[in-house]
C-alpha cells in the first residue's frame, strides 16, 4: 500500500533551515531584529501599512478584537463554518458571537445573512476566507459602512489570496493570517496581523507584549535604560526571531506555493467534475484563491462518514472542514443554537470532505486519490 498522504504538509527546504540556524547562532532568539524585518516584508507583500507578528492567529484574533475597543457584551458576527478560533476570540473579549449562515457555492459567510443578524449591539464582522477563497468583501464592506461596524478578516487560509486585484491583508480594518504548520506558509506556530491604521498598529504592539511600551531590544546596549511603563493589560503573544527568520524565507515562496497548490486543484477539478456524485469547489470571479483546502461536496446519497473511512483505509488523509461551531459542546452549552437556523451550513457540513492538498504531493498521489474516489463512490452508491 502507498504511504499515507496527509491533507496538509509543510514545505521546508534547505534555505528555510539555514535561515533558522543563523538566528539560533545569533544574539537574539526573540524580540530581535528578525521580527521587524519579517513584519516589513509581510506588510509589503499584502500592501498594508503595518504588520505585527504574533505567536498564533488565535492570539492575533484575540488582540485584534481588544485593539478595537469594543465594549463588553457587544455582538460580533462570524461564520459557523470555521475553526473554533474565529469565534473564541469574541468570547475572550467578553463579547457575543453571532453566527450568520453561509453561501452554498463559496461556503463563505453570506452578506445577506449578515444583514439579518445586525442589531443595535453589533460592533464588528469577522469574515473567514474559507479554504482560501476571499469572501464577498465589497458587500461586507458596504454593510460595515452602513452600520458603522469594524471588519476583522480571518485570513488564516488566505496568504497570497487576492480580491479584485488586491492582496488579502490590505482591505479591512484588520486582517489576521495563520502560520501554523498546516497552513500554506508556516513558522511552526505563528500568525501575522496587518492593518493600515496606525493607532490600531501601536495598540497591537503593546497588547502583544504585556502592554509594555519599550521592547527588550530598545532597552539593550550601553545607552539603554531600564525604564519602561505598562500601559495596557497585554499578553505575551510574541513570536521568536528564529520563527520570524523562517517566516521571511517562507514568505519568499508564498506565491510559488500558491501556484503549485492551484495546479493540483485544477487537476482535481478536471477529473472530479466528471463525477456526478461530487460537487467541486466553485471559484468566484475577480479573486485569486489561496487553495488552502480543496473541499468537495458529496451527493446526499453517499454516506460521508463511510466515504471518509473508506478513503482513510486507502491511506488518504481526507479531512472535514468543519464541524459547525454551534455543534461544539462548549458553544452548545452556552447558546444551544438550532441547526435549522443554519440550513446551508448544516447541509454542507454534513456532505463536505477535504482532499489532500500540499506542495509535496506527486502526480501519482493525485492520480491515486482520484482513482480511489471513483472506487469509493462506486462502492457507496
Ligand atoms: C488555523 C486557523 C486559525 C487559527 O490559527 P492558529 O495560528 O493555529 O492559531 C483561525 N482561523 C481559521 C479559519 C483557521 O483555519
pLDDT at 269 over 80: yes
pLDDT at 215 over 80: no
pLDDT band per the 50, 70, 90 thresholds, residue 217: confident
d(CA 11, CA 16): 9
Whether residue 177 has its Cβ less than 6 Å from ligand 1? no
- Which residue's alpha carbon is nearest to atom 5 within ligand 1? 57
Q: What is the pLDDT of residue 265?
A: 98
Q: Percent of the chain beyond pLDDT 90?
A: 95
- CA of 163 relative to ligand 1 center, distance in Å: 20
- CA of 279 relative to ligand 1 center, distance in Å: 25
Q: What is the pLDDT of residue 278?
A: 98
Q: Which atom of ligand 1 is nearest to the CA of 56?
A: 7
pLDDT at 51 over 80: yes
pLDDT digits (tens, 9 = 90+) for 4-38: 999 999 999 999 999 999 999 999 999 899 999 99
pLDDT at 92 over 90: yes
pLDDT band per the 50, 70, 90 thresholds, residue 58: very high
Q: Which atom of ligand 1 is nearest to the CA of 86?
A: 11
Q: Greater confidence, 305 or 1?
A: 305
* Residue 193 DSSP SS3: strand
Whether residue 154 has its Cβ less than 6 Å from ligand 1? yes
Q: Which atom of ligand 1 is nearest to the CA of 292?
A: 15
pLDDT band per the 50, 70, 90 thresholds, residue 236: very high
- Counting ligand 1 atoms within 8 A of each CB, the residue from 83, 127, 132 with the most, and so the one to mutate, is 83
- Counting ligand 1 atoms within 8 A of each CB, the residue from 8, 178, 192 with the most, and so the one to mutate, is 178
Find the mean pLDDT for residues 45-56: 98
Q: What is the pLDDT of residue 31?
A: 86
Whether residue 55 has its Cβ less than 6 Å from ligand 1? no
Taking each helix axis from N to C end, the angle separating 241-251 and 33-46, rounded to the nearest 10 degrees, works out to 30
Q: What is the pLDDT of residue 367?
A: 97
- Model pTM? 0.97
Whether residue 191 has its Cβ less than 6 Å from ligand 1? yes
pLDDT at 327 over 80: yes
d(CA 257, CA 251): 10
Find the mean pLDDT for residues 290-299: 98
Side-chain-side CA neighbours of 7 within 13 Å: the count stands at 19
Whether residue 169 has its Cβ less than 6 Å from ligand 1? no
pLDDT band per the 50, 70, 90 thresholds, residue 229: very high
* Residue 126 CA to its chain's centroid (Å): 11
For residue 282, report the phi and psi dihedrals to the nearest 5 degrees.
-90, 135
pLDDT band per the 50, 70, 90 thresholds, residue 61: very high
- Counting ligand 1 atoms within 8 A of each CB, the residue from 53, 81, 86 with the most, and so the one to mutate, is 86
Find the mean pLDDT for residues 56-67: 98
pLDDT digits (tens, 9 = 90+) for 171-214: 999 999 999 999 999 999 999 999 999 999 999 999 999 999 87
Find the mean pLDDT for residues 364-375: 97
Whether residue 156 has its Cβ less than 6 Å from ligand 1? yes
pLDDT at 276 over 90: yes
* Residue 171 DSSP SS3: coil
Q: Percent of the chain beyond pLDDT 70?
A: 100
Query: What value, to the nearest 5°, has the Cα angle with vertex 174 and ends 131 and 324?
Result: 40
Please answer whether residues 297 and 352 qualify as being in contact, where contact means their C-beta atoms are separated by less than 8 angstroms.
yes
d(CA 286, CA 289): 10
Find the mean pLDDT for residues 162-179: 98
Please answer whether residues 158 and 152 qualify as being in contact, where contact means their C-beta atoms are separated by less than 8 angstroms.
no
Q: Which atom of ligand 1 is nearest to the CA of 58?
A: 9
pLDDT at 227 over 90: no
**Dihedral sign of CA atoms 332, 334, 338, 342 in order:** negative
Mean pLDDT of the chain: 97
- CA of 312 relative to ligand 1 center, distance in Å: 24
Q: What is the pLDDT of residue 219?
A: 77
Measured between its terminal Cα atoms, the distance across the chain in Å is 25
Find the mean pLDDT for residues 302-306: 98
Q: Measuring CA to CA, how many Å separate 228 from each of 27, 157, 199, 210, 212?
A: 22, 37, 20, 11, 7
d(CA 275, CA 380): 14
Amino acid at each position: 500500500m502507498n504511504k499515507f498522504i496527509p491533507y496538509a504538509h509543510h514545505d521546508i527546504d534547505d534555505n528555510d533551515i539555514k535561515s533558522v540556524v543563523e538566528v539560533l547562532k545569533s544574539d537574539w532568539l526573540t524580540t530581535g531584529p528578525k521580527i521587524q524585518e519579517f513584519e516589513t516584508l509581510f506588510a509589503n507583500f499584502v500592501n498594508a501599512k503595518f504588520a505585527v507578528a504574533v505567536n498564533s492567529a488565535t492570539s492575533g484574533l484575540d488582540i485584534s478584537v481588544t485593539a478595537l475597543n469594543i465594549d463588553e457584551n457587544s455582538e460580533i458576527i462570524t461564520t459557523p463554518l470555521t475553526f473554533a478560533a474565529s469565534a473564541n476570540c469574541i468570547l475572550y473579549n467578553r463579547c457575543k458571537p453571532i453566527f450568520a449562515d453561509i453561501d452554498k457555492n463559496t461556503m463563505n459567510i453570506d452578506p445577506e445573512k449578515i444583514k439579518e443578524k445586525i442589531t443595535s449591539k453589533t460592533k464588528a464582522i469577522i469574515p473567514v476566507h474559507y479554504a482560501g477563497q476571499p469572501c464577498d468583501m465589497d458587500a461586507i464592506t458596504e454593510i460595515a459602512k452602513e452600520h458603522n461596524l469594524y471588519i476583522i478578516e480571518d485570513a488564516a487560509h488566505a496568504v497570497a489570496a487576492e480580491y479584485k486585484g488586491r492582496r488579502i491583508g490590505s482591505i479591512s480594518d484588520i486582517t489576521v493570517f495563520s502560520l501554523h504548520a498546516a497552513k500554506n506558509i508556516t513558522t511552526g506556530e505563528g500568525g501575522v496581523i496587518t492593518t493600515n491604521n496606525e493607532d490600531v498598529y501601536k495598540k497591537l504592539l503593546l497588547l502583544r507584549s504585556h502592554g509594555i511600551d519599550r521592547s527588550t531590544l530598545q532597552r539593550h546596549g550601553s545607552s539603554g535604560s531600564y525604564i519602561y511603563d505598562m500601559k495596557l493589560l497585554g499578553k505575551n503573544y510574541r513570536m521568536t526571531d528564529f520563527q520570524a527568520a523562517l517566516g521571511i524565507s517562507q514568505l519568499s515562496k508564498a506565491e510559488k506555493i500558491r501556484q503549485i497548490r492551484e495546479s493540483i486543484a485544477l487537476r482535481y477539478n478536471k477529473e472530479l467534475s466528471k463525477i456526478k456524485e461530487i460537487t467541486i469547489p466553485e471559484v468566484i470571479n475577480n479573486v485569486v484563491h489561496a487553495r488552502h483546502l480543496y473541499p468537495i461536496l458529496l451527493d446526499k446519497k453517499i454516506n460521508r462518514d463511510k466515504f471518509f473511512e473508506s478513503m482513510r483505509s486507502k491511506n488518504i488523509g481526507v479531512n472535514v472542514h468543519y464541524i459547525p461551531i454551534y455543534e461544539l459542546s462548549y458553544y452548545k452549552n452556552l447558546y444551544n443554537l438550532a441547526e435549522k437556523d443554519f440550513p446551508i451550513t448544516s447541509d454542507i457540513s454534513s456532505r463536505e470532505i477535504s482532499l489532500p492538498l500540499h506542495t509535496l504531493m506527486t502526480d501519482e498521489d493525485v492520480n491515486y486519490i482520484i482513482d480511489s474516489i471513483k472506487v469509493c463512490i462506486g462502492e457507496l452508491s
